[in-house]
Amino acid sequence: MSRLYTLRMPASCGELLQGMISGEEKLLSYPVNLYNYLILERRKGNPGKIKGEDAFPDLPEKMLTLIKLAARDLGISPSLLAGYRWQHRQLIPSGKGLASSTADLMLGLAALSLLGSKKLSYQEILGYLTAIEPTDSIIFPELTLLEQNRGSFWQRAGQPEGEVRVLALGQPGSCDTLDQRKFRGSIPDVTEAWRLFQQGVRRQDWRFIGKAATFSARAWQQQLNYPLLEEIISEAESQGCLGVNIAHSGNVLGILYQTERADIQGLKSALLSPEIKAHYPAKWELELIRGGVEVLQGDGRQFKKFLAYDFQSNNRD
């Protein structure tokens, strides 16, 4: 067993779409190159003297709750867990809709899988994650449509070829994303957004997926009230961007673009207006990547994807 594990899990820059599809709420989040990390280093000496939460002094509360629950279910002994020093590094801002909690929970499960040599299915993973809170489809290696509250449905969504970048804008402060879910009102139907997304996959054209994201953002505007949303959409479209997505539980939005099609410098200049900067002081330049946890390999330079063993669509439709 390795003396050192370094795991990382990406953020989500909100969702490409979210809402009612085929009678239940589903979402399709997308991962970006912003990460939380979990480092496990084997302790020297006798770990038997380390008891209870002393083994995990720096872990977030939700991650610690899940580790205790899943370790008991999976038969992973407290002594094995205490034999490692658990270090958490959070680079994903919390309370923004960037799936920081999902990243932490998935890191905890992947760590248990490695230490206990326990292969987990996605159904098992979703069961653990949704026992803590609604989750995001960034846990999958590919873009995936997911019923996020119980993990009862997932479907591979596919995606066109080509790189997609994101200019993310964040509003001031943070919000309680779970409370925001509770009090956001009625859930819009986004079947049209899902149809546009599928059309983009069939035609291998990201522009339709950008349209799907914009449709979903507009569908939620009455409930979520993103400041200057229409102005930002107009600027993004005029500069050749694909579309605008939002965090449906959070306060960030993403402007999706491909460098060969968009005038990104023109867009950045337009976003420097005092009004937009006042509402969206935070900014990140990101790129869409594959989802799921990665584990640093022995050479210390290359991360390798950690995969559950049954990535098949659970499609009841």
Q: 36-56, pLDDT tens digit by residue?
A: 999 999 888 665 555 555 667
SS3 3: coil
In the chain, what are the domain boundaries? 4-305
Q: Is the pLDDT of residue 14 over 70?
A: yes
Least confidently predicted of 65-69, 89-93, 174-178, 249-253: 174-178
Residue 119, phi then psi, degrees to nearest 5: -85, 120
> Is the pLDDT higher at 161 or at 298?
161
DSSP per-residue string spanning 71-127 = HHHHT--HHHHHTEEEEEEE-SPSSSSS-HHHHHHHHHHHHHHHHHT-PPPHHHHHH
Highest average pLDDT, of 115-119, 218-222, 304-308, comes from 218-222
Q: Give the per-residue pLDDT at 184.
A: 58
Q: What is the pLDDT of residue 51?
A: 55
Q: What is the mean pLDDT of residues 46-73?
A: 79
What is the rounded average pLDDT for all residues in the chain? Answer: 90
Q: How far apart are CA 296 and CA 311, in angstroms?
A: 22
Residue range 22-48: mean pLDDT, rounded: 89
Task: Please report which confidence band the pLDDT of residue 211 belongs to, taking 50, 70 and 90 as the band edges.
Answer: very high
Structure tokens at 33: 């190159």
The model's pTM: 0.91
pLDDT digit string, tens, across residues 187-209: 999 999 999 999 999 999 999 99
Integer CA distances (angstroms), 139 to 30, 72, 225, 307, in order: 10, 22, 28, 9
Cα gap 83→105, rounded to integer Å: 20
**Structure tokens of 188?**
């819009």
Q: What is the DSSP string of 215-269?
A: HHHHHTHHHH--TTHHHHHHHHHHTT--EEEE-TTSSEEEEEE-TTT--HHHHHH
What CATH architecture applies to the domain 4-305? 2-Layer Sandwich (3.30)
pLDDT above 90: residue 297: no
Q: Is 57 helix (H, G, I), strand (E, B) or coil?
A: coil
**Does 266 have pLDDT greater than 90?**
yes
Q: Examine the pLDDT at 312 and tell me if it is beyond 80.
A: no
Res 317 pLDDT > 50: no
Name the residue among 205, 179, 209, 184 with its Cα closest to residue 15. Answer: 209
Of residues 75 and 300, more confidently modeled: 75
The distance between the two most distant Cα atoms of the chain, rounded to a whole number of Å, is 64
pLDDT, tens digit, 9 for 90 and up, residues 101-140: 999 999 999 999 999 998 899 999 999 999 999 999 999 9
pLDDT per residue as tens digits for the range 245-264: 999 999 999 999 999 999 99
